[in-house]
């Protein structure tokens, strides 16, 4: 069953006098449990597409159906609720909250979901931090972590609430290949065991290797879309 259905998705950034077309008519269907990578040259519209899928931004035209729900009819508040419960984001710039420790940054995301007991929250946060290789660093503040460690906190934060959909914008950009591999394995495991849907944007061949579907975007349009088994 489809988690996402996009039809004629168009995004035009209005820059005062000039209009920048970032996406021009994207048609895509993403099934539940897919492990997908979007690639393409810089400026082709990858980040823009992820933001639309993640209910963080609205298209200029076209429709997105997220898990059976048409997003166009929802207000900001409803979109926030979908993000809170069902979407995990990993951004290029990690955007951790500087006054919170690694542990608390991850805890924040799962607390918002509001469905776990105190002890369960603690277990889950510790487990996911260990899984991304941050055991022992839980109490460090972001300014006491390296770029790669911050990226891993951001990944843990996206995964901890076990959302239906994880969107990761260049997740391996700040990681060495060994750590990248570890993190990808954590995600692949979650994908296998929980059926979580993953969509990445990347230039990294390693990430593409893990993906079972490769979508190439050029000039805001789907240029190639191939699945492999």
Partner 1 sequence: MLFLTRLAFKNLARHRNRTVITSIIIAFAVLSYILYDSLIGGMIEMSYATIIDYETGHLQVMTREYWEKETEEKELPLEHLFTLDEELEREIQEVEGFLAAAPELNFQARLGNGVDELPVIGKGIDPEAFGRVFALEDRFVEGSMFAPGENRAVLGKRLADLMDLAVGDYITLLVKDKDGSYNTIDAEIAGLVHTSNPNVNQNIVYLPLDIVEQGLNTPGEVSKVIIRLENKDLASKLAGELGGQLQGSAGNLAVYPWDEMEAVTFIGAAEIEKQLIFAIILLIGAIAVINTVILAALERMGEIGMMKALGLQNKEVVYAFVLESTGIGMIGGILGVLMGVGGVWPMVKYGVDFAGLVSMDLASFGLPILGRLYGVWNPAGFAWVFLFVVIVSSLSSILPAYWAANKDPVKTIYHR
Ligand X SMILES: Nc1ncnc2c1ncn2[C@@H]1O[C@H](COP(=O)(O)OP(=O)(O)OP(=O)(O)O)[C@@H](O)[C@H]1O
Interacting residues with ligand X (CB under 6 A): 13, 15, 20, 22, 42-48
**Residues near partner 1 (CB under 8 A):** 47, 51, 54, 56-57, 76-77, 80-85, 87, 89, 91-93, 95-100, 107-109, 111-112, 157
Tell me if residue 113 falls in helix, strand or coil: helix
Minimum distance from residue 181 beta carbon to partner 1 (Å): 26
Quick one: what does residue 20 bind among Mg ion, ligand X, partner 1, none, with the CB cut-off 5 to 8 Å set by partner type? Answer: ligand X
Strand ranges (E), the chain: 2-15, 18-31, 35-39, 61-66, 69-70, 87-90, 165-169, 197-201, 213-218, 221-227
Summarize the chain as % helix, strand, coil (round to 5): 40, 30, 30
When the beta carbons of 42 and 143 are compared against ligand X, the nearer one is 42
Question: Are residues 62 and 48 in contact, defined by beta-carbon separation less than 8 angstroms?
Answer: no
CA gyration radius, the chain: 17
In order of 25, 56, 58, the CA distances from 19 in angstroms are 16, 20, 16
* Least separation in angstroms between CB 92 and Mg ion: 6
Instruction: Tell me the per-residue interface mask from 4 to 43 with Mg ion, x by CB under 5 A, - otherwise.
Output: ----------------------------------------
Q: Which does 60 bind (CB under 5 to 8 A by kind): Mg ion, ligand X, partner 1, none?
A: none
Cα separation of 82 and 171, whole Å?
Answer: 22
Say whether residue 202 binds Mg ion (CB under 5 A). Answer: no
Query: Rounded CA gap, 147 and 145, in Å?
Result: 7
Question: CB under 5 to 8 A by kind: which of Mg ion, partner 1, ligand X, none does 27 bind?
Answer: none
Could you tell which of ligand X, partner 1, Mg ion, none binds residue 15, using a CB distance below 5 to 8 A set by kind? ligand X
Minimal distance in Å, beta carbon 169 to ligand X? 7
| Residues contributing to the site for Mg ion (CB under 5 A) | 47
């Amino acid at each position: 069953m489809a988690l996402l259905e996009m039809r004629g998705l168009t995004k035009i950034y209005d820059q005062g006098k000039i209009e920048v077309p970032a996406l021009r008519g994207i048609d895509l269907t993403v099934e539940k449990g897919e492990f997908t990578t979007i690639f393409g040259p810089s400026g082709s519209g990858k980040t823009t597409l992820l933001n639309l899928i993640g209910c963080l931004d609205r298209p200029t035209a076209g429709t997105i159906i997220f898990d059976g729900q048409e997003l166009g009819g929802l207000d900001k508040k409803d979109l926030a609720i979908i993000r809170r419960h069902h979407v995990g984001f990993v951004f290029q710039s990690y955007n951790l909250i500087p006054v919170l420790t690694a542990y608390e940054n991850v805890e924040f995301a799962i607390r918002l979901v509001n469905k776990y007991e105190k002890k369960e929250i603690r277990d889950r946060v510790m487990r996911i931090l260990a899984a991304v290789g941050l055991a022992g660093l839980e109490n460090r503040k972001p300014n006491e972590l390296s770029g790669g460690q911050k990226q891993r906190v951001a990944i843990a934060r996206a995964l901890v609430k076990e959302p239906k959909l994880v969107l990761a914008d260049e997740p391996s950009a700040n990681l060495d290949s060994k750590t990248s591999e570890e993190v990808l394995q954590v995600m692949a495991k979650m994908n296998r065991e929980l059926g979580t849907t993953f969509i990445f944007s990347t230039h990294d061949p390693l990430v593409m290797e893990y993906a079972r579907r490769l979508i190439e975007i050029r000039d805001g349009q789907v240029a190639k879309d191939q699945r492999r088994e």
